[in-house]
Amino acid sequence: MRGAGGAGGRGRGVTRAKPKTGQNKTGPDKTGQDKAGQNMIRVEFDDNRLLPFLYGEHDQNLSRIEQELAVSLVPRGNVLAISGRPEAIAAASKALETLYDRARRGQIIDLGEVYAATRAASLAARKDNIEDASQEPGFESLVVRTRKRDIVARSARQAEYVRAMQEHGLVFALGPAGTGKTYLAVATAVSMLMNGEVDRIILSRPAVEAGEKLGFLPGDLREKVDPYLRPLYDALHDMMPGNIVIKRMADGDIEVAPLAFMRGRTLSNAFIILDEAQNTTAGQMKMFLTRMGESSRMVVTGDLSQVDLPPGIRSGLRDAADVLRGVEGVAFMNFTDADVVRHALVTQIVRAYDARDRARRQPGEADPQEPILPMPRGGKP
């Protein structure tokens, strides 16, 4: 595959441009077949300066699209030929349009963004509804701005999740690893702190061992619990410069603490996140939820397929989902393996484990991944 050339400046005043199918520089070129007899279309891009960012270093972004969608992409100047099955061509064209629009906005396009765009376009193609599936209101333009970077929703469900956090006082996000549940919650919290919508951020996790026996840990109390909270620190440092994180924590604007430290407190004017909530007991979950004070928001994230509680103890996350279903002001977001935006293998891993668990499940046994649905009107399930 021919390279796109070295990276160049994006320039100012770039006009909005979408890929054009069915034409090249010399005029109309109807969709037809390539030399191998496959269906083919040509897509033209208006701004050559954006192509190095769209194609990626050594065309790595194009290679990922080829791999994910089983198409052939051949660039010639500002024209890209797409060959393959009709539905694959349509998905590739849509993914390229989405990524090109992000390049036009000056947003970073990495392999994660490419994978998310191809996944969304592929799912839409299978529904025969490409335009509507990835163009839900606010999907492509929904950006969470933080001090260090702008976080862009990678799927319609992620965009819906961000809007839910902006509009509801309490949001539950349930689903497998890699769907952005915690990352987007931290990004939204940082954005609201920067905009003065909340006075502080409180991040919490239950300190439950995930199968390992850690034994005695040396150091003071903070050093003992920090290993449990490290993923939350990592997310914070992704959103804010390290010196700002340290200063904000010293000033009390950002607090990272284990769940046990929440007891007896009233948390007002705060954005509060409880991560790994599947490892809370019913009592701990009730304690946490009742900490909410005036002008606060809460987000509770967890994966009910990864409960590390002792046998016989019901997850507080499942209990809260059953109790609070239908309560006004509470939103539930259900992510699935189709929403995974990490490495492509993560999706396959999640699906493999889910298939194994379904095969092992006894007749009538509840599925821990069963979506939490809103309470029907009238209050009766």
Model confidence over 162-196: pLDDT tens digits? 999 999 999 999 998 888 899 999 999 999 999 99
* Mean pLDDT of the region 120-125: 72
Q: Which band of pLDDT confidence, cut at 50, 70 and 90, is reported for residue 36?
A: low
Quote the CA–CA distance of 4 and 53 in Å, as a whole number.
9
Quote the CA–CA distance of 296 and 257 in Å, as a whole number.
17
Distances (CA, A) of 187 to 19, 66, 161, 231, 241: 31, 31, 12, 13, 13
Task: Tell which residue, 254, 208, 213, has the closest CA to residue 228.
Answer: 208
pLDDT given for residue 224 in this prediction: 61
Residue 137 corresponds to which amino acid? Answer: P
Query: Could you tell me how many residues make up the chain?
Result: 381
pTM comes to 0.68
* Mean pLDDT of the region 261-278: 93
Task: Tell which residue, 277, 303, 305, has the closest CA to residue 289.
Answer: 277
pLDDT given for residue 232 in this prediction: 86
pLDDT given for residue 375 in this prediction: 46
Q: Which band of pLDDT confidence, cut at 50, 70 and 90, is reported for residue 295?
A: very high
Beta 270-274 vs 200-205: how paired, if at all?
Answer: parallel
Cβ–Cβ under 8 Å, residues 158 and 339? yes
User: Exposure string (b/e) for 186-200, b if CB count within 10 Å is 16 or more?
Assistant: bbbbbbbbeeeebeb
Lowest mean pLDDT among 105-114, 140-149, 175-184: 140-149
Q: Which band of pLDDT confidence, cut at 50, 70 and 90, is reported for residue 79?
A: very high
* Strand ranges (E), the chain: 20-21, 23-24, 27-28, 32-33, 39-44, 72-76, 79-84, 143-145, 150-152, 170-174, 200-205, 254-258, 270-274, 297-302, 330-334
Cβ–Cβ under 8 Å, residues 4 and 49? no
Lowest mean pLDDT among 30-44, 98-112, 197-211, 297-311: 30-44
Strand partners, 202: 255, 272
Q: Which band of pLDDT confidence, cut at 50, 70 and 90, is reported for residue 367?
A: low
Residue 165 corresponds to which amino acid? Answer: M
Q: Which band of pLDDT confidence, cut at 50, 70 and 90, is reported for residue 107?
A: confident
Cβ–Cβ under 8 Å, residues 113 and 123? no
Residue percentage of the chain with pLDDT more than 70 = 73
Give the tens place of pLDDT for each residue, 337-360. Answer: 777 776 667 767 877 877 787 787
Q: Which band of pLDDT confidence, cut at 50, 70 and 90, is reported for residue 225?
A: low
Q: Please check the confidence at residue 278 and state whether its pLDDT lies above 90.
A: yes
Cβ–Cβ under 8 Å, residues 190 and 146? yes
Output helix, strand, coil percentages for the chain, rounded to the nearest 5.
40, 15, 40
Mean pLDDT of the chain: 78
Q: Please check the confidence at residue 304 and state whether its pLDDT lies above 80.
A: yes
* Mean pLDDT of the region 34-48: 80
Residue percentage of the chain with pLDDT more than 90 = 42
CB atoms within 10 A of CB 381: 9
